[in-house]
């Protein structure tokens, strides 16, 4: 092998080189500014998870010293990690942002949605999301989805047109060339925008480390009462778990993703610092969703089906 001979192309070779994080950051900022320039009522989907936190950080940088010209929208399943809600409210107050909340619980309470037998609320988010988009007439909705997450997402555009039902039709996607994003849409339609399309899980963590971004404590290793279901550690909590025959134990865990408590699994981890999280992810042999999301294990096309319905 010719290792040394091929190091010539590494970025140290040129004074004009940029690291992959610099390139990804500039690309995401470009996307935010395109939306600000071409849409009337954009909104950032903000769950308090790491991807939405990075999105907000990029939006703050893109328009400084002015505030970002976007509100935040949280689709709240009601099965929240309290630390994440506390983080959300702190960030909103700190930056003087406007937060809209679309509540799954409200939809269940007034009968517009019915609780699923398995108690999972992730798929139930689509209806309140589309309702909020329609009510507030949002024309661009930023999501933190990344193409490396899942194979249906691998075919997603940066600007993804949704029809009046919020649906995604993979066969009718607009080709996306160069950095020319086509955001034209008819009244009632909207565009989902994914500024982190080209980021990987590792990029997100490296960027959080580089930018010293505060994240909710549940991403770091901590002791928690958990029980085993579907090969994952789920948190015992008000949302309904555990059932009979699912013994609870206290383990040292952390979360790789933050979602609805009923279907987001914790991973065994002693990573208490961002550096150790990065090392852990770089060495992991499981994808983020494979390790932590029960809802994507349902079928080969679980995500594709949810996206067609209008999911994130």
Partner 1 sequence: MTGATTGTPAAAGPESLSTTALLRFATAGSVDDGKSTLVGRLLHDSKSVLADQLEAVELASRNRGQESVDLALLTDGLRAEREQGITIDVAHRYFATARRRFILADTPGHVQYTRNMVTGASTAELAIILVDARNGVVEQTRRHAAVAALLRVPHVVLAVNKMDLAGYAEPVFARIAGDFTAYAASLGVPEVTAIPISALAGDNVVTPSAAMDWYGGPTVLEHLESVPVAHDPTEDPARFPVQYVIRPGTPEHPDYRGYAGQISSGVLRVGQRVVVQPSGLTSTIEGIDALGQSLDVAWAPQSVTLTLADDLDISRGDLIAPADGAATATREVTATVCHLHDRPLAPGARVLLKHATRTVKAIVKEIPSRLTLDDLSHHPDPGELVANDIGRVTLRTSEPLAMDAYADSRSTGSFLLIDPADGATLTAGMAGEAFGGAKGQGAPSAEDAAWDF
Distance CA 96, CA 117 (A): 39
Member of 83, 131, 163, 304 binding partner 1 (CB under 8 A): 304
* Contact range with partner 1 by CB under 8 A, out of 46-54, 87-95, 116-124, 170-178: 170-178
Q: Is 26 in the site for partner 1 (CB under 8 A)?
A: yes
> CA torsion, points 195, 172, 174, 61, in degrees to nearest 10?
-10
Interactions with partner 1, residue window 194-223 (CB under 8 A)? 197-198, 200, 202-203, 206, 209-210
Whose Cβ is closer to partner 1: residue 106's or residue 304's?
Answer: 304
Q: Read off the DSSP letter of residue 175.
A: P
Whose Cβ is closer to partner 1: residue 121's or residue 289's?
Answer: 289
Member of 148, 166, 195, 196 binding partner 1 (CB under 8 A): 148
Smallest distance from the beta carbon of 85 to partner 1, in angstroms?
A: 28
Interactions with partner 1, residue window 50-79 (CB under 8 A)? 61-67
The residue whose two tokens read 């160069």 is: 178
Q: Is 96 in the site for partner 1 (CB under 8 A)?
A: no
Distance CA 257, CA 19 (A): 25
- Token pair belonging to 295: 């809802």
In the chain, DSSP finds a helix count (H) and a strand count (E) of: 9, 10
Q: Is 95 in the site for partner 1 (CB under 8 A)?
A: no
DSSP letters along 209-244, please? HHHT----GGGS-EEEEEEEETTEEEEPSTTS---T
Whose Cβ is closer to partner 1: residue 116's or residue 184's?
Answer: 184
Member of 110, 186, 187, 244 binding partner 1 (CB under 8 A): 186
């Amino acid at each position: 092998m010719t290792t040394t001979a091929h190091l010539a192309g590494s970025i140290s070779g040129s004074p004009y080189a940029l690291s992959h994080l610099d390139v990804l950051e500039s690309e995401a900022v470009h996307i935010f500014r395109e939306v600000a320039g071409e849409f009337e009522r954009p909104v950032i989907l903000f769950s308090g998870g790491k991807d939405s936190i990075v999105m907000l950080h990029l939006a703050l940088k893109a328009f400084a010293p002015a505030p970002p010209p976007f509100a935040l929208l949280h689709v709240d399943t009601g099965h929240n990690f309290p630390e994440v809600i506390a983080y959300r409210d702190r960030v909103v107050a700190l930056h003087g942002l406007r937060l809209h909340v679309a509540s799954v619980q409200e939809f269940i309470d007034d009968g517009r949605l019915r609780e699923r037998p398995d108690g999972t609320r992730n798929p139930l988010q689509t209806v309140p999301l589309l309702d909020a988009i329609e009510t507030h007439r949002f024309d661009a909705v930023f999501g933190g989805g990344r193409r490396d997450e899942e194979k249906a997402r691998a075919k997603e555009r940066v600007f993804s047109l949704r029809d009046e039902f919020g649906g995604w039709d993979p066969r009718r996607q607009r080709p996306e060339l160069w950095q020319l994003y086509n955001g034209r849409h008819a009244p009632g339609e909207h565009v989902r925008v994914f500024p982190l399309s080209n980021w990987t899980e590792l990029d997100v963590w490296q960027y959080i480390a580089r930018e010293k971004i505060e994240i909710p404590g549940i991403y770091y290793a901590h002791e928690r009462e958990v029980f085993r279901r579907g090969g994952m550690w789920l948190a015992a909590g008000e949302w309904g778990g555990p059932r009979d025959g699912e013994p609870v134990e206290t383990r040292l865990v952390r979360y790789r993703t933050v979602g609805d408590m009923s279907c987001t699994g914790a991973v065994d981890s002693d990573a208490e610092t961002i550096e150790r999280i990065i090392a852990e992810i770089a060495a992991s042999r499981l994808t983020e969703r494979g390790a932590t999301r029960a809802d994507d294990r349902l079928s080969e096309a679980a995500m594709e089906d949810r996206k067609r319905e209008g999911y994130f």
